[in-house]
Amino acid sequence: MKVLESDLRGKTVMSEEGLYLGILRNSLVDGRTGQLLSILVEPSEDIDPRLYHLDEVGHLVFPFEAIRSVKDVIIVGGN
């Protein structure tokens, strides 16, 4: 799947089960290859972020491979 990182930022992120996870705020990119490694999601107030992998500032971290669909919203699988 080819996706521009700038097209993802600010999109709503949901689980495959339809749970609103939050808003994509940033991503981690391999500086050498330019490959998107993971997305960083500002968590929704409706979820318990402790159930997910977090970065040092509290964003949910999902590997790029977890992205199942990118349309009006981003759908991720697994946690």
| Fold for the domain defined by 5-76 | SH3 type barrels. (2.30.30)
CA distance linking residue 22 with residue 12, whole number of Å:
6
Q: What pLDDT digit, counting tens, does each position of 30-76 carry?
A: 899 988 899 999 999 999 998 999 999 999 999 999 999 888 899 99
Does residue 4 carry a pLDDT above 80? no
Instruction: Give residue 15's region: left, alpha or beta (phi > 0; psi -120 to 50).
Output: beta
pTM: 0.86
